[in-house]
Amino acid sequence: MASWSELPLKYRLLIGFYRWRTLTSTPWAKLAVPLREARVALVTSAGLYRPGIDRDFGGGDGGDITMRLLPSDTPLGSLVVGQSSDAFDRTDVERDMNLALPLDRLRELQALGEVGSVAPRVVSFNGSMLAPGRFVRDTAPQVVEALRADLVHAALFVPV
Amino acid sequence: MCTQSVGLLAAEVEKAGIPTACIALVRSVAETLRAPRMLAVPFRFGHALGQPNDADGQRAVLRALLGLLASPGPGPVLVDYGPR
């Protein structure tokens, strides 16, 4: 388990006062097909992007609420971590992007017949945001639209 | 913060009819949030899948995450990833 004690002091102070969100109700959708037939999408909060192609993620008050859609055949080694937070050590993620975006692993499970297919695009956003209201209101519908357009059956979410 | 962000986004995706499963790096945040399906992992920040270049270990985490999609529901479903 990650522990707050890993974090720099400024974050530990902040976390003591932070109002963690609670969903008023928990939505529930059922998987429409067996996993071995399902098209599965990955969503990462590492703010991964393709330099020279995608816009970098910024910081600013409340964080950068935008998202990037990356083709799933993008070489993992060509991606850059755009996460604005210095609350985690990114050395290992940069060494192996599967820690934030396990595309190689998902493809292996597809090859083994455990999942149907890998969605053609992954969703990438910068999860470092204190005030997520605008993100939920403005960005989440874009994510839903992209996942629907890609006809995915399920989505897996990976934080950093 | 990321555990909360992915959970909030997942809830919106789930509302749209697409089932979701999230890795949670901080169990207390997952408990408070009550997102549909979360897998609490015993790893540090930046290590949601475990160790770098450990394909077997990472695949095991991903399998556990995919396994949550078979939960009968209703949520929230919060499962601890076991030691391997």
DSSP chain A: ---GGGS-HHHHHHHHH------SS------SS-GGG-EEEEEESB-EE-TTTSPPP---TT----EEEEETTS-GGG-EE-----SS--HHHHH-GGGT--HHHHHHHHHTTSSSEE-SEEEEEB---S-THHIIIIIHHHHHHHHHHTT-SEEEEE--
At residue A59, does pLDDT exceed 70?
no
Q: B39 to chain A nearest CA, in Å?
A: 10
Task: Report the alpha-carbon distance of residue A73 to residue B43 in Å, rounded.
Answer: 27
- State residue A62's pLDDT score: 60
What tokens does A23 get?
Answer: 């969903």
The one-character DSSP state at B14 is H
Q: Measure in Å the smallest separation between the Cα of A121 and chain B Cα atoms.
A: 15
State the pLDDT confidence band at B51, using cuts at 50, 70 and 90: very high
Amino acid found at A31: L
- Confidence (pLDDT) at A155: 98
For A28-54, what is the mean pLDDT?
Answer: 97
* pLDDT recorded at residue A9: 84
- Scan for tokens 């556990």, then name that residue: B64
Whether residue B83 is predicted with pLDDT greater than 70 in this model: the reply is no
Q: Looking at residue B76, what is its pLDDT?
A: 97
Element (H, E) at B77: strand B77-80
The least confident of A59-63, A96-100, B44-48 is: A59-63
Asked casually if ipTM beats, i.e. exceeds, 0.95, the reply is yes
pLDDT at A93: 95
* Arithmetic mean of pLDDT, A81-89: 81
User: What pLDDT score does A4 carry?
Assistant: 84
Q: How confident is the model at residue A145 (pLDDT cuts 50, 70, 90)?
A: very high
Whether the predicted pLDDT of A61 surpasses 60: no
pLDDT at A51 over 80: yes
Element (H, E) at B5: helix B2-15
Confidence label for A23 from pLDDT (cuts 50, 70 and 90): very high
Token pair 């910081």 is found at: A59
Write out the H or E segment, with its range, that includes residue B31: helix B27-33
**Per-residue confidence (pLDDT) for residue A149, from 0 to 100:** 98
pTM for the model stands at: 0.95
Question: Using CB atoms and an 8 Å cut-off, which of residues 14-73 of chain B contact chain A?
Answer: 14-29, 32-36, 40-53, 55, 58-59, 61-63, 65-66, 69-70, 73
Q: Is A140 in the B-facing interface, judged by CB distances under 8 Å?
A: yes
B12–A140 CB contact, under 8 Å: yes
Instruction: Write out chain A residues lying below 8 Å of B3, CB-based.
Output: 159
**pLDDT above 80 for B13:** yes
The average pLDDT across A79-85 equals 86
Average pLDDT over residues A11-40: 92
**Which residue has better confidence, A10 or A38?**
A38
